[in-house]
Structure 1
Amino acid sequence: MLRASLLLLAAGLSGCAQPQVARGGGGIVSVNPCTDAILMRLVPHARITAISHYSQDAAATSIPLDLANRFRATAGTAEEVVALAPDLVLASSFTPAATREAYRRAGLRTLFLDVPATIEQSEAQVREVAAAVGQVARGEALVADMARAAAGHRPAGPAPAALLFITGDLVTGGGTLLDDMMHHAGLRNAAADYGLSYTGTLPAELLVARPPAVIIAPDKGRSSGLRARLLPETRTASFDRMLVNCGGPTIIPAMARLRAIRAGLS
């Protein structure tokens, strides 16, 4: 959800010399790829001891790979994280109880973060991370950028129905951050109309019977070809894979792309 937009997003960071990344002891360890993206906007790179290995995977990252590859990455195991002795660990609320206990026993300061389902929740999460890393002003600046992206022009008239595929035949339904972004861009989430919540797959028969105005997808693989054969009259639009994984700063280029898609349907 672009690569050019994300590079612009990171320009303030990548325009300087390659950071001297901490290699153990102190600093911040993020085992959550979404907080990796937030950290890139909030703190000097030298404060980041390690990021999630997902950020070095093209299918899961929300930051450019050349930036992610400058950092040590962990698989998020308790052993790896405890050995780094960080000042702060940023993790997911889905972290297993045993891992949480290992962090506690090691005396690590931890922040467990939920998956935001709305732009407003993502803004609140940025503020939470900013407070934890002592960068409130930078957090507010990022939130302001996100709010401006969300508050852009929404075309008048009925919202066209759109299906946004995350990968393959997996589509985003109602109650998700992508669903909220589609709404702000002036698009109606057809998957929510079909009754799908969160993410899942849809029967081909349903798509043929009630086709959307546009199909948005990040790939051109086998599933994309099948959809083109089933719905030859339905418009398609590309959406970079990096835009579907997280909120935070990713919302800015994602909203720009969704608005461009909506403008093309007018």
Structure 2
Amino acid sequence: MRCTRFFSWRKNAYGVRCLSRVRIIILIKWILVLLLSTSSCFAQVSVPKRIVSLSLCTDQLLLMLAPRQHIASLTRGAVDPNLSYMVAEANGFLLTGGNIEEVLPLNPDLIVGSAFASRDAIRFLRQLGYPVKLIGLPASIAEIRDLVLVFGEWVGFPERAEQVVRNMDWQLARLSKQHAAVKKTALIYSPNGYTMGSGTLENAMLNAAGFYNLAVDMGVVGFEQMTLEQLVAAQPEFLFIEKYVDNPDSLASQYVDHPVLDNMPLSKKRSFIPSQLRTCAGPMVVEAINYLSEKRYESEP
């Protein structure tokens, strides 16, 4: 169905009016320009500028990925040096307990929190029309990468998230080259006698730092209790003792302060990752792995 002329409306041989080719091209160009400008406007509107955080872990991701002026509030945990990796960056922000009563007056255009937040509170906020995004608990380095990229999309700065992930990958690749072919065996022992096996971020960090987690061979999946007898029988080359709950009067701490551990060779006892590096699963995992790697290679006492 060819038009007889190209520069005006004409009837073809079948009596159908059709537009000239030049005008079709011009029309398509105008449509493309309109679509691009419209999508650009939507992109600008979609960037939240009053973001409220309901959890320590979203506090830290916000501080890494969003401009300070876009953050309306953080939680009080953000300035706790025992828990927060971003204490210095968190100074100067409004701090809340993550309660609805504190959130509503801020009129947020995005609320971010943990999947472990109160379901009733989250449901109520959504019913009021507030956009709420919740993060899960990554159990691997790959899941941390995905979390960072998704969070970057939520706050409107995906390019920042991509740069953070690139930096993570570069540092992890550098660390992997330092390890010998043979991994050192290790176990983690924490208050209440818990250890971490397969399917945990702690296991992934041990592997990335050049260790082999004996808890996996013992059939430990996730977090499980281990008796002192099992611990001694396993004979790990490295024992990472986590003592975040450092209260000698608590039953939980008695596990990691037991005299049996004092009788183990000093070369096998190491403190575990500082709590501020592992309270939340995020880009700080690289520093945690580096910490473990240094313990692997440090001189014996």
What TM-score do the two structures reach when normalised by structure 1? 0.80
Q: CA deviation at 1:182?
A: 1.3
Give the aligned partner of residue 270 of structure 2. Answer: 237
Output aligned runs, 1:203-214, within 5 Å: 203-214=227-238
Shift of the 142–166 alpha-carbon distance from structure 1 to 2, 3 Å rule, reads farther
Q: Separation in 2 of the partners of 1:62 and 1:165?
A: 22
Q: 1:95 aligns with which of 117, 128, 133?
A: 117
Q: 1:51 aligns with which of 50, 53, 74?
A: 74
What TM-score do the two structures reach when normalised by structure 2? 0.71
Q: 2:56 aligns with which of 33, 55, 60?
A: 33
- Deviation digits for residues 226-256 of structure 1, max 9, x if unmatched? 2632423552223312112122221121121
Give the aligned partner of residue 7 of structure 1. Answer: none
CA contact (8 A) 1:172 1:178 kept: yes
Q: Separation in 1 of the partners of 2:108 and 2:191?
A: 34
Which runs of at least 4 in structure 1 moved beyond 6 Å after TM superposition?
Answer: none
- Count of aligned positions: 241
Q: Separation in 1 of the partners of 2:157 and 2:241?
A: 35
| RCO comparison, higher one (Cα < 8 Å, 6+) | 1
CA contact (8 A) 1:211 1:234 kept: no
Counterpart amino acid of 1:251? V
Give the aligned partner of residue 144 of structure 1. Answer: 166
Counterpart amino acid of 2:69? A
Structure 1 stretch displaced more, 193-202 or 104-113: 193-202
CA contact (8 A) 1:215 1:234 kept: no
Give the aligned partner of residue 35 of structure 2. Answer: none
Shift of the 185–194 alpha-carbon distance from structure 1 to 2, 3 Å rule, reads same
Structure with the greater alpha carbon radius of gyration: 2
CA contact (8 A) 1:53 1:73 kept: yes
CA contact (8 A) 1:37 1:249 kept: no
Helix, strand or coil for the counterpart of 1:61? coil
Counterpart amino acid of 1:113? I
CA RMSD of aligned residues (A): 2.6
Q: CA deviation at 1:114?
A: 0.9
Give the aligned partner of residue 126 of structure 2. Answer: 104
CA contact (8 A) 2:186 2:211 kept: yes
Structure 1 stretch displaced more, 244-253 or 228-237: 228-237
Helix, strand or coil for the counterpart of 2:205? helix
Counterpart amino acid of 1:228? L
